[in-house]
Structure 1
Amino acid sequence: MPYEPSTVWQYDVPTTGSTHLPPDAGYGKALTNQGYGFEVAVADLIDNSIDAGADKIVVHFLRDASRILTLLIIDNGHGMDDAGLDAAMTVGRRRQYDEHSLGMYGTGLKAASLSHASSLTVVSRTKRSRAAGRRLTAEGIEDGFRCDTVDPVYAQELVDRYDGIIEWHGTVVRWDRVRSFETVAQGQSDKYLSNAISRLENHLGLYLHRFLQRGLNLDIAVWDVSTGDGTLGEEVDHIAVEPLDPFGYKVPGKAGYPRKFTAPVEGVGEIRLSAHIWPAKSKLAGFRQIGSLSERQGFYFYRHDRLVQAGGWNGLRNPEGHLTLARVAVDLPAHQNSVLSLDVKKEKITVTPAFTLGVESAVDSSGSTFHSYLSDAETAYRDGTKRTEIARKPVTPPGKGLDPKIKRVIKEELPEKAGEEPVAITWSTLPAGRFFDLDRENNAILLNRSFREDFNDGRRGGANDAPMMKTLLYLLLEDCFGLGRWERTRQDRIEYWNTILIAAARAKRERREHAVL
């Protein structure tokens, strides 16, 4: 039908044809500037591993003596063949998701990776296909979205290196030329990596806590490729990510909680709200170690058990100090709707007024309103602040070499000295008459590696081995760091502790050798 001026205000704009307009290579710059934080980007890739059925995932940092080189994420999911790899690396291609998938938009792998690395490599194999790989680089995108095929020999070698994780099937995602790694100043790699791993551990422990509680094995490992046997190198740190449950208290802050409220939301239907009140002054990691208490009050939205927003009232009200104990779990409805929208990075929910109006009208099974819940949370906070506690002496925080589970308990039980670098515990070459030494300049407790096997039942042990012995030494020695003048009495204490511990270590060795005989 020819266009008639009188129809200019009609709802459907008339057209006369169409053409396909593929993305220009300049879109690559937009792809690499999606605003992904480092931890958010890694979490997005782990979502892909979970969707692939993986129950074992390792985030693997490779470094040498002075630099951080590469990041890899390895999983034992069902893997991809050549066609699957081509589809996964196609920019703008949206795959089919099942009703429980964590993926949504089909851009996470490329956008999350290229936001941080100039080169993304994916190597994978299935039960029925050989190892294969693809590489996407910033230069390749500018060259008409060119994707390189990885040499199949290298692909097989990479899979074989991780045979403790990938057995019959699995995937390796590799980031090279990571921009934040390349900007680390000379001599600052250890500090940067320690901080990056701590933030990553907390983020993954929080946002994937339901999966971790159900048995997902998620580790963070660091290998120094300049040492060891020349292939993977030597493991210098290893952390098993533990769940950080934002609702993991043992006793609620008010009897009768949590309570279930039902909110009638126009355009969605009924939404269930699980309203919790934390106990005041809780020291548990799920309360204290997941960020600012004011920011962590409010709604915790989950999509298919994956946390996608950790706190915030979404326009219902502003954060307030007397509501820091209030947290509300909301499982998003399975069907798509126009009321609750998840951003592409999967860290924030945008809501329309229909949601907040529904929450305002929410009631529980007894007819109590959501406002009564907020009032209870305020009362619990005010009552809790009246109670006094014995002030514990702050400590220098524990660092690398101590099992993360122990570090978490220490942080829950003891306040940290502000501005102090964590104390690392490492095995080192020391004289025969020294069980330990202090490197106060680098905040490290050095252990005589000649005794290492004795504390690991004859085995080599990992980066976080001998937890009991290391914990006791940390508790004894943490106050030796961050001091000004070094007193003679303190040095004398170090000397006689060494003498006594050397005797104890030799006695342990004799017992072990006798048991073997």
Structure 2
Amino acid sequence: MNQVQTLEVIPDPVSLIESMRAVGYTVEAAVADIVDNSLSAEARTVHVQYDAAAGNPFLAILDDGSGMAPDELTHAMRHGSSNPTDQRGPTDLGRFGLGLKTASLSQCRKLTVVGSKNGVLSARCWDIDLVRESGRWLVVVPDQAATEALPLIKRLKAQASGTLVVWQDLDRLTAGAKDVQAEMTARMEPLLEHLALVFHRFAQKEGSHPPVQITVNGLSLPLRDPFLSSNQFRQELEGQTIRHERGLVEVRPFVLPPISRLTEEEIQTAGGRDGLRGTQGFYIYRARRLVIWGTWFRLVPKHEAYKLTRVRVDIPNSFDELWALDIKKSAAYPPDAIRSRLKQLIPHFANRSRATIVYPGRKSSRNDAIVPLWERLEPKHGSFSYQVNVDHPLVARLSESLNADQQRHLQTILEYLASSLPYDQIYADMCGDKPRDPDYDLDRLEEIARSLLQLTDLELSAVLKIDPLARFPALHGALTKRLNDV
């Protein structure tokens, strides 16, 4: 057998490191990649701080994780410090061994990392200008004076362990800016919300996982929940576990409440009045970290009828190769076996979303005692209609006050109302996300509640479950106070 001739072709450091800077990180995706490392090191606090007013703009990320010893830190600074095909711990958010370097150097020309472990402080620095001058993969070992001058270094030294990542010479963040501080502030504007969404499951206790505090310039991340779990009108549909030789994929579908059931804060959390359509679809989590969201993976087009559907999909990091996870951890695509299963589930999710849009009814439960004014009838599969609920206290009270002829006349009127509903117009209005019930302020609801109390002889708790009062649970506390203060 002939021996194969080989040649070792070593990449040019200058060309490669400059090319890798163009991977396409946004600043918020780059910071998130560094936070991934902090979470993999089991940090309980992560502080992001940036400043462009100090003459030497910087961005620093400090955590209180396990830290790194000198040899570990040197290895971590190596490009490709881990093999993406290696098996890793279930909570490890890394993959390629490139994130720390590629994410950081996409934004700056000087990356310094300081590790604190077992009482030993060590620092390493990538300086692109030095690489250009030497033409070699040289990492700087900063002296004590340079290390002591780094931002947040005193806080790191005060901790038992941890890691400090510092970006300096922020050429990509401040290039061409006349006002460096204003430019950096503008570039950082999406950071808080991006981190809040991507790491929203880390911000609160989940199972055996304690909460992690993440701050940006001292501000804690706002609580974000794309599934609005605190809203009583949100519907959780039956989930499914997809079994694969690489592990389990957990699928949990949710249908958000119609916009009339949401507070302004919930509307913004769900994507804003104009964003509900764009944020529908699958939300893919890798080890609890949100990787990609608001997509149907081209299995179905985004549609008004599906806009309330959010499907949480949890994948283990053993699926990275199959899901085509990219370096930035901002894109993933399911393999054929998983994609076909998800496609089969979509009609089930979408049908409930469509029903919620067209008929924004109450969260169905055998235990709820909400009394609607309108009832949905489904005499046969695929056919439905609406009629006035004759058991509604106001309708029943009116009927009881009438004689037999008048009751028949009332029934005719109610049937005519039901048969004349403008279904097409109602559907168009629902799809337009237009806020409804604009005239139902607290004063008007108080009038309705007093009328119901007087006409029905029901307790206040029962009256609040009658339509239209039942539509505004957020105002029930204020209504109760007003009515009880009299």
Give the alignment's TM-score, normalised by structure 1: 0.62
Distance in 2 separating the partners of 1:148 and 1:206: 35
Aligned to 1:218: 214
The residue type paired with residue 203 of structure 2 is L
Distance in 2 separating the partners of 1:240 and 1:263: 36
The alpha carbon displacement at 1:220 in A equals: 0.9
1:407-446, Cα deviation, whole Å (9 max, x unpaired): xxxxxx9xxxxxxxxxxxxxxxxxxxxxxxxxxxxxxxxx
Aligned to 1:141: 131
Aligned to 2:253: 275
Give aligned pairs, total: 354
* 2:284 counterpart of 1:301: yes
Aligned to 1:316: 299
1:207 to 192, 198, 210: 198
1:450-500, Cα deviation, whole Å (9 max, x unpaired): xxxxxxxxxxxxxxxxxxxxxxxxxxxxxxxxxxxxxxxxxxxxxxxxxxx
Distance in 2 separating the partners of 1:195 and 1:291: 23
Residue correspondence of structure 1 range 340-489 to structure 2 within 5 A: 340-362=323-345, 370-384=346-360, 385-386=429-430, 388-390=436-438
1:245 to 225, 228, 246: 225
The residue type paired with residue 251 of structure 1 is N
Contact 1:249-1:279 within 8 A present in 2 as well: no
Change (3 A) 1:239 1:171: same
1:2-23, Cα deviation, whole Å (9 max, x unpaired): 5xxxxxxxxxxxx615454333
Distance in 2 separating the partners of 1:328 and 1:69: 40
Aligned to 2:47: 58
Give SS of 2:269's match.
helix
Aligned to 1:12: none
The alpha carbon displacement at 1:28 in A equals: 1.1
Distance in 2 separating the partners of 1:80 and 1:269: 30
Aligned to 2:275: 292
Structure of larger gyration radius: 2
1:173 to 165, 170, 176: 165
The alpha carbon displacement at 1:352 in A equals: 3.5
* 2:60 counterpart of 1:72: yes
5+ long unaligned stretches in structure 1: 3-14, 222-237, 363-369, 393-412, 414-517
Aligned to 1:123: 114
Aligned to 1:34: 23
Change (3 A) 1:117 1:269: closer
Distance in 2 separating the partners of 1:170 and 1:291: 42
Contact 2:173-2:187 within 8 A present in 1 as well: no
Distance in 1 separating the partners of 2:149 and 2:28: 28
Change (3 A) 1:299 1:139: same
The residue type paired with residue 29 of structure 2 is V
Distance in 2 separating the partners of 1:120 and 1:337: 27
5+ long unaligned stretches in structure 2: 206-210, 361-428, 441-473, 475-486
Change (3 A) 1:20 1:166: farther
Change (3 A) 1:323 1:331: same
Distance in 1 separating the partners of 2:274 and 2:243: 31
Contact 2:60-2:152 within 8 A present in 1 as well: no
Contact 1:74-1:165 within 8 A present in 2 as well: no
Distance in 1 separating the partners of 2:348 and 2:81: 47
> Mean Cα displacement is larger for which, 198-207 or 16-25?
16-25
Give SS of 1:316's match.
coil
> Mean Cα displacement is larger for which, 324-333 or 158-167?
158-167
Contact 1:339-1:354 within 8 A present in 2 as well: no
Distance in 2 separating the partners of 1:338 and 1:250: 35
The alpha carbon displacement at 1:204 in A equals: 0.4
The alpha carbon displacement at 1:293 in A equals: 2.7
Distance in 2 separating the partners of 1:291 and 1:126: 48
Give SS of 1:341's match.
coil
Give SS of 1:173's match.
strand
The residue type paired with residue 298 of structure 1 is G
1:203-259, Cα deviation, whole Å (9 max, x unpaired): 1000101111132111111xxxxxxxxxxxxxxxx311133111124336565x232
* 2:98 counterpart of 1:107: yes
